[in-house]
Structure 1
Amino acid sequence: MRTDLDHLPPAKQRELERVVQILFEEFGDATAIATSPWKKQARILKVILYGSYARGGWVDEPHTAKGYQSDFDLLVIVNHEKLTDRIEYWSTAEDRLDRELAITRTLRTPVNFIVHTTAEVNAGLSEGRYFFMDIARDGIALYQSDPADLPEPQPKTPAQALAMAREYFEDWLPSARALEEGAAFYIDKSRLKEAAFSLHQATERYYHCVLLVCTFYTPHVHNLGFLRTQAERIDPRLIEAWPRETKADRARFEKLKAAYIKARYSKHYRITEDELAWLGAHVEALGRVVEVICSEHIEALERSAVA
């Protein structure tokens, strides 16, 4: 696996050093009070940069009319399955990365990271999941306790890939659409918080759909910002679903993100019918793009299977 970052500007290289430092510091704090043997041996084995900053072709234009900026995408590999618990071991790292981006501004680039064990990564490669195969091919190790490469991927046959993509598509797309319909029902009943939660779930499932169909992998998170970033790496047409030129556009998306928790549990969560109408229109637009991308991908798999 590559370890060089010579293709990145020096400022980006320094940022990545800072990000790795934060991950280690917060992980160390989260595992500091160790009583069980497995926790005493808790280790980060690898930190791998993947996505546009690994391949090249990233976008860093937050102040332009489009306002789009690629994120750093990182895979953290740990030595025990319990260490993949995002709430218990990684939430403070997420909070700190967000704080250093938005408040202290010691970071200029948003960061997304996923956490898996070696066994999970190896299983993904042995099962021919494109997501892990792309990381094995293009990833750059920012840290590794063992320089051994990831195992050789075992790609699916064209027929296997087609069958799996169809199964994901036929499951997740109708599920997302049903939740869109549920949001409309709740709006009609003036149950606005329930409508917001339903739109959140529809959006989440659209992103899971396109990720699963196109990469055979989706992270187990409910954070729409994270899922949006992962999905937009697949096809830039997904970027157009969410305007982000103005503060109001970004604020409405943030309100949708917050709906997963706050629309269910917080008496202070407020959303208007106008905001729901705007969000509903863009969730619908997202669904249309997801259907096109997935259909095109399945058609390509069909051609490959026939050939």
Structure 2
Amino acid sequence: MNKRLDHLPSAKRRQLKWVVDTVRDGFAEAIAQRTAPRLRDGKLLKIILFGSHARSDWVSDPIGRYFSDFDLLIVVDHADLTDFPEFWSKTDGILLDALIAGDFLRTPVSLIVHDIDDVNQQLELGRYFFMDIAREGIVLFEEPGHPFAEAKPLTPQLALEESQNYFEDWFNSANQFFDMYRIMLERGENNIAAFQLHQATERYYHALFLVLTLYSPKTHNLNQLRKLAEELDNTLVEIWPNDTKFHKRCYELLREAYVKARYSRHYRITAEELAWLGERVGMLRDRVRALGEARLAALRAEIV
């Protein structure tokens, strides 16, 4: 795998070095007080930059206030260490605080964490997402002696079958939650409607990941899902404008709905906010459908 960052401006290289140091320090702190040897002796094996900053097609748009993330794959030595809330949320918070402060870190950071056995299995199963990382990713840190498995591309027929099954399951499931959002909105059950809409949004994103890459991140975090999806197709940026306080508030209410709409008595969302969000999620649905159908058509063409 590539280890060179010559294509990045010096400021971004400095930021990445600080991010890598922060991730390593955060992991060391997270396992330091563990009593179970399996956790205390856990290893961080690799930190790999992938996505737009690895490919040299990142976006930095101060006017539109859109900036591509540093997308990082964190590889650890066993699955217990992939528990994000337990081992990685504090580090994620430090990175977010640094970004908000803006004194040094100017690029958002998105972390995904997998164990080495899982990554190797995904490569052996021909999962595009991990194959792209193995081909295009840039190693920022690694412990020696832990190579990735050789990728084994799927046949066009198998790729089509898996992609179609994933897309049908997740897209149809998202539509069901979208229908429930409408029903709850009509009944005036705004909080339940918000939760249903969050679930629809999350599942549309998962449907997109699975049909395009045969992989989807294990998260309910809409920010992370959204950023990764926009890396796959930058037209998705248009779904969520943030040019007004109303737009920003609506998106935050949707993002928070997974937990707060169900459990917090302080969560409030209006019918107007829900209607706007429903319109945007409808746009997301239509775009995901178009991208999914185009991908399936391309796979069918490879078979003929």
TM-score normalized by structure 1? Answer: 0.96
What does 1:6-21 align with in structure 2 at a 5 Å threshold?
Answer: 6-21=6-21
- Asked if the contact 2:209/2:229 (under 8 Å) is kept, the reply is yes
User: Take 2:227 and 2:97, find their aligned partners in 1: how far apart are those partners?
Assistant: 19
Given the alignment of the two structures, is residue 90 of structure 1 paired with residue 88 of structure 2, yes or no? yes
User: Take 1:183 and 1:228, find their aligned partners in 2: how far apart are those partners?
Assistant: 20
User: Take 2:233 and 2:171, find their aligned partners in 1: how far apart are those partners?
Assistant: 17
Q: Which amino acid aligns with 2:80?
A: K
Shift of the 17–229 alpha-carbon distance from structure 1 to 2, 3 Å rule, reads same
Given the alignment of the two structures, is residue 266 of structure 1 paired with residue 264 of structure 2, yes or no? yes
Shift of the 268–105 alpha-carbon distance from structure 1 to 2, 3 Å rule, reads farther
- Hey, what does 2:169 align to over in structure 1? 171
What does 1:62-141 align with in structure 2 at a 5 Å threshold?
Answer: 63-64=62-63, 66-103=64-101, 105-141=103-139
Q: Could you report, residue by residue, the CA deviation over 1:163-211 in whole angstroms, capped at 9, with x for unpaired residues?
A: 0011011101111111111111111111111111111000000000000
- Hey, what does 2:156 align to over in structure 1? 158
- Hey, what does 1:37 align to over in structure 2? 37
Partner of residue 197 from structure 2, selected from 191, 195, 199 = 199
Q: Which amino acid aligns with 1:254?
A: E
**How far has the Cα of 1:25 moved from its partner?**
1.7
- Asked if the contact 2:184/2:193 (under 8 Å) is kept, the reply is yes
- Runs (4+) of structure 1 moved beyond 6 Å? none
User: Take 2:14 and 2:245, find their aligned partners in 1: how far apart are those partners?
Assistant: 29
Consecutive unaligned residues of structure 1, counting only runs of 5 or more, are none
Partner of residue 234 from structure 1, selected from 214, 232, 235 = 232
**How far has the Cα of 1:67 moved from its partner?**
2.4
- Hey, what does 1:279 align to over in structure 2? 277
User: Take 2:171 and 2:3, find their aligned partners in 1: how far apart are those partners?
Assistant: 38
Q: Could you report, residue by residue, the CA deviation over 1:118-177 in whole angstroms, capped at 9, with x for unpaired residues?
A: 101101100000000000000000001117642221000000000001101110111111
- Secondary structure at the aligned position of 2:91 is classed as helix
Q: Which amino acid aligns with 1:284?
A: G
Query: What value does the CA root-mean-square deviation take over the aligned residues?
Result: 1.2
User: Take 2:291 and 2:145, find their aligned partners in 1: how far apart are those partners?
Assistant: 37
- Hey, what does 1:24 align to over in structure 2? 24
- Secondary structure at the aligned position of 2:149 is classed as coil
- Hey, what does 1:244 align to over in structure 2? 242
- Secondary structure at the aligned position of 1:7 is classed as coil
- Hey, what does 1:4 align to over in structure 2? 4
User: Take 2:106 and 2:245, find their aligned partners in 1: how far apart are those partners?
Assistant: 18
Consecutive unaligned residues of structure 2, counting only runs of 5 or more, are none
User: Take 2:284 and 2:47, find their aligned partners in 1: how far apart are those partners?
Assistant: 32
What does 1:287-306 align with in structure 2 at a 5 Å threshold?
Answer: 287-306=285-304
Q: Which amino acid aligns with 1:258?
A: E
Q: Which amino acid aligns with 1:299?
A: A
Q: Could you report, residue by residue, the CA deviation over 1:20-69 in whole angstroms, capped at 9, with x for unpaired residues?
A: 111112211111112222122111100000000001110011x21x3221
User: Take 1:68 and 1:35, find their aligned partners in 2: how far apart are those partners?
Assistant: 43
User: How many equivalent pairs are there?
Assistant: 304
TM-score normalized by structure 2? Answer: 0.97
- Hey, what does 1:58 align to over in structure 2? 58
Q: Which amino acid aligns with 2:278?
A: G
User: Take 2:40 and 2:167, find their aligned partners in 1: how far apart are those partners?
Assistant: 42
- Hey, what does 1:221 align to over in structure 2? 219
Identity %: 46
- Asked if the contact 2:178/2:200 (under 8 Å) is kept, the reply is yes
User: Take 1:7 and 1:120, find their aligned partners in 2: how far apart are those partners?
Assistant: 30
User: Take 1:119 and 1:147, find their aligned partners in 2: how far apart are those partners?
Assistant: 14
User: Take 1:134 and 1:211, find their aligned partners in 2: how far apart are those partners?
Assistant: 13
